[in-house]
Amino acid sequence: MTRWGILATGRIAGDFVSDLQLLPDAQVTAVGSRRLDTAQAFASRFGIGSAYGSWEDLAASTDVDVIYVATPHSSHHAATMVCLSAGKAVLCEKPFTLDVATSLDLMTTARSRGLFLMEAMWMRCNPTIRHAQSLVADGVIGEVTHVTADFGVAGPFEPAHRLRAPSLGGGALLDLGVYPITLAHLFLGVPAGIVSWASLWPEGTDSNTAVVLSYASGAVATVHCGGLGETAQRATITGTLGRIEIDPPFWRTHGLTLVANGQTTRVDLPMRGNGLGYEAEETMRCLKAGLTESPVIPHEATLDVMRTLDAVRTQIGVTYPEPT
């Protein structure tokens, strides 16, 4: 039985705990927040035995094997470092941190302590996405020439909203764009060239962003993210012999359509619960195997995506204040 601690009490934390409760080998034993009353309310809601009023107290708990960090991403580095410093394995929400430097700092710390650490990029563990990877690896659609994906949501969002506020790492790119950029990385790897454009909210974070990625193979990826309107949230992987159309919303998809060899084939892979349990299963599999890094979401893949996000942010002129 793997004992989970939950750091933060927002919507994503609740969805994650709901999915953990569907797994027979997982037990949520503790929750921690910066406010004890918030942690206690969350614990009461989900039947969790221990509630702590600080990250440090949660990290020090002897009844926890691994901690899921579900804070806003502006706090991912600080919260994860608290957990690693206390000797705890960590599954940290995406985007892993705000930039490459802080991501690398966490990974270096985890490696030096022999601790498991993984970005909670749940899309990479989705059964449909993994099936699409298998199809591509088997050469079913030939050499991949183009990946396209969009993730736009409808506002309006208040200036203090996490999608807008610089202090929360706001902007469509890190909150939403991390998904299509991760998808492009899954099927095309590290880009050779990056060209991007964005409109910005008055706060200086991006509200509507387009990115074109080019690759040494000659392939390209076109991605979009934004907070000005709900897009179709579709994704397509095109190859020399066919294409894979991932059902929307692609980042939490339930199936795909394969078009190849003159035939169209449906593949339906209904997602269990909220779709977050698969990354928990991968975490627990790695812990049981004594791994400190997941082959499904390796550190280098997280860094590759973060390097692309950093490059795009530089091009569109989005910066964040120094953490306090």
Task: Please tell me the predicted confidence (pLDDT) of residue 112.
Answer: 98
Provide the b/e sequence for 142-166 (b: ≥16 CB within 10 Å).
Answer: eebbbbbbbbbbeeebeeeebbbbb
The structural domains of the chain, with segments of one domain joined by +, span 2-121, 124-275+305-316
Could you tell me what percent of the chain has a pLDDT over 70? Answer: 99
Has this prediction a pTM greater than 0.85? yes
Task: Please tell me the predicted confidence (pLDDT) of residue 324.
Answer: 53
Residue 249 preceded by cis peptide, ω within 30 = yes
CATH superfamily of 2-121: NAD(P)-binding Rossmann-like Domain (3.40.50.720)
Give 1-51 pLDDT, tens digit per residue.
999 999 999 999 999 999 999 999 999 999 999 999 999 999 999 999 999
CATH superfamily of 124-275+305-316: Dihydrodipicolinate Reductase; domain 2 (3.30.360.10)
Give 202-248 pLDDT, tens digit per residue.
999 999 999 999 999 999 999 999 999 999 999 999 999 999 999 99
Compute CA 293 distance to the chain's CA centroid, rounded to the nearest angstrom.
16
Catalytic residue among 76, 77, 88, 94: 94
Average pLDDT value for residue range 244-264: 97
Phi, psi of 144 (to 5 degrees): -70, 130
Give 145-161 pLDDT, tens digit per residue.
999 999 999 999 999 99
Give 112-145 pLDDT, tens digit per residue.
999 999 999 999 999 999 999 999 999 999 999 9
Is 11 strand, coil or helix? Answer: helix
Q: Where does the pLDDT of residue 322 fall: very low under 50, low under 70, confident under 90, or very high at 90 and above? A: confident
Whether 288 is catalytic is: no
